[in-house]
Structure 1
């Protein structure tokens, strides 16, 4: 039997809280006990996007691996030093959606539900572990200047909707 959940039910069942300033909701599920240079070697979270919320453009100093669990497809905008690409996280493999996406350290990233989507439950795993100091919130003007071809989506992922 397949149960239809609402975003509110998932948030309550998993104990998710708002993820500020990025957007969405999260709950930490794992932090490694091992350390390297004073920082835990890995961490993991549940991450929920509910329309019209989005993941504000940001970058991290560590690799982040997204895992898609359930709900509607999510588009990630990835802006690296030499390229810009869009990747869709989701369950429809025949449509080119991917159940996992790696965001390399230092790559600008933002995400939103595809049009018509209501919510998506994902997870992310980081190595080394997430720390507040590793998060950099994007400035729309600077990103648009560096990636003018992505101006429309950058603007959508850096302002309130």
Structure 2
């Protein structure tokens, strides 16, 4: 039996994500890190770790955004996904997350804290997971504005225009 997008949404009770795609939080550690033990980029305590399922369907994308923690992506099912990363130092990186190692895909990859990133499936859908540490908090989430991002990364203008909603 092959999975469908609708089966995944219904079975895992996925919800629309503000950046695009669908998600479901599957884990939030019961322990937290006090704010005085975190770097200044955090404005309060954070759970030690969080995890989500994330689904991207064809004809949609996850818009450029950034968070204040490292994010580990895990590939589960469907088609490979391209993750476009604009690093703090100005470098661009394309991560291919998937199961075809002969095509340079990897099952797991890290997007470092503070990097802007966007993603898109290479087929009908990509079903992945994301683990964040310190744990994800929407206070740490920022959607990119194309005009501001283009000023920081002028060499990536076409990519920015394609993967920004504002």
Asked if Structure 1 and Structure 2 have the same fold, meaning a TM-score greater than 0.5 normalized by the shorter chain, the answer is: yes
User: How many aligned positions are there?
Assistant: 155
Structural RMSD (CA): 1.1
| TM-score (norm: length of structure 2) | 0.90
Q: Does 1:39 align with 2:46?
A: yes
Q: Over residues 78-134 of structure 1, what are the superposed CA-to-partner deviations in whole Å (9 max), with x where a residue is unaligned?
A: 0112211111111100110111110110000100122xx110100000001111100
Residue in 2 aligned with 1:70?
A: 77
Local SS of the residue matching 1:122: strand
Structure 2 CA distance for aligned equivalents of residues 34 and 112 of structure 1: 33
Runs of 4+ in 1 over 2 A off after TM superposition: none
Aligned to 1:28: 25
Q: 1:121 aligns with which of 124, 127, 132?
A: 127
Q: Which runs of no fewer than 5 residues in structure 1 stay unpaired?
A: none
* Structure 2 gap segments, 5+ residues each: 35-44
Aligned residue for 1:94?
102
Residue 26 of structure 1, CA deviation: 0.5
1-structure distance, mates of 2:93, 2:147: 19
SS at match of 1:10: helix
Q: In 2, Cα distance between the equivalents of 1:49 and 1:139?
A: 21
**Residue in structure 2 matched with residue 52 of structure 1 by the alignment:** 59
TM-score, length of structure 1 as denominator length: 0.92
Q: 1:148: how far off?
A: 2.1
SS at 1:149's partner residue? helix
Measured in 2, the distance between the counterparts of 1:152 and 1:118 equals 23
2:149 is equivalent to residue 151 of structure 1: no
State the shift of 1:145 in Å: 2.2
